[in-house]
Amino acid sequence: MPTRQNQRVPAPALLLDSASLYYRSYFALPESMTAPDGFPHNAVRGFFTTLQRLVARTGADRVAACWDMNWRPAWRVELVPSYKTHRVADTDDESEVEPDTLGPQIGAIAALLDALGIARPGHRDFEADDVIATLASRVPGPVVVVSGDRDLVQVIDDARQVSLLYTAAGGMDAWPLLDAAAATTKFGVPPDRYADFAVLRGDPSDGLPGVPGIGAKTAASLIDAFGDLDGILAACAEPIKPLTPRLVGLLQDHAEAIRAAAPVVRLARDLPVPDNILLPSTPRDPSTLAALQQEWGVAKFAVLPR
């Protein structure tokens, strides 16, 4: 019979916030890194180098490079018109602002992932964060979500062994692996209350206005006292500490906006996306892979992790 000491620890699944990683690579590495034709390949090289290191660090046997098929869903904009407005290009199709040398690299990363056979799930009406939240609630644990997006704090779940490798600052060796306790210490609220916290505090990076006059400490104290947004708004009828007349006025004046923003911040967990994310042992399309590796000068980097 196997003992506790020699039982094999299950390998984790890696759920990558792909945009977070390729943007990080693009801005962290110099454009002097180029493909044979002289075009920068810093984002491509950085993305796949990071993927290699992540698999080596975690021992993952499942990987999903979750993809933004719709980075600004219309239904979220309808609820919060300012949602990601500052990221919109001045064009008729409201495409996302991105550097001229990044767009082609994003396409190359997608094509290389597909040729390798690494899962790249997305959904036309939702963001990559929603795809990550869906997979995190569905695939067997342990699960490591990789992102610098604070919204993904809400998927941390100790019971399901879902943690967040938080890439917001520093090099990979400094990225903390957050469980519920670490996330609560860092952000002031437990992961299952993070979405309500973000609604109150707001998030300029996503164009979420929050409630004017309510910052992170006040939002955390309200959630600690009353549990969630419904509890906070209900408490305004017969306020007790930490509610003050000023806070009651702010919350009541912005109650409609609070209720509209709540579903925008909360991530979907029931999308119809495939969950077959096993890391393949051989490339899906070797000839296409070889051509792309040569074109982009990444034969040493864009390979299946081991």
Contact 70, 127 (CB under 8 A): yes
Pairing of strands 162-166, 177-178: antiparallel
Quote the pLDDT of residue 46: 98
Cα 70 from Cα 171, distance rounded (Å): 28
Domain boundaries, the chain: 13-187+267-296, 194-265
Q: What is the pTM of this model?
A: 0.93
Q: Which CATH superfamily is domain 194-265 in?
A: 5' to 3' exonuclease, C-terminal subdomain (1.10.150.20)
Check pLDDT > 70 for residue 7. no
pLDDT tens digits, one per residue of 223-281: 999 999 999 999 999 999 999 999 999 999 999 999 999 999 999 999 999 999 999 99
Does residue 170 register a pLDDT over 50?
yes
Write the pLDDT tens digit of every residue in 41-78: 999 999 999 999 999 999 999 999 999 999 999 999 99
Residue 148 has pLDDT above 60, yes or no: yes
Tens of pLDDT, residues 177-235: 999 999 999 999 999 999 999 999 999 989 999 999 999 999 999 999 999 999 999 99
Q: Indicate if 194-265 has the same CATH topology as 13-187+267-296.
A: no
Beta strands 62-66 and 13-17: pairing type? parallel
pLDDT at 95: 66
- Topology classification of domain 13-187+267-296: Rossmann fold (3.40.50)
Instruction: Report how far Cα 62 is from the mean position of its chain's Cα atoms.
Output: 17
- Measured between alpha carbons, how far is 120 from 18 in angstroms, rounded to an integer? 9
What's the one-letter identity of residue 141? G
Residue in 39, 20, 178, 37 with CA at minimum distance from that of residue 101 = 39
Residue 87 has pLDDT above 90, yes or no: no
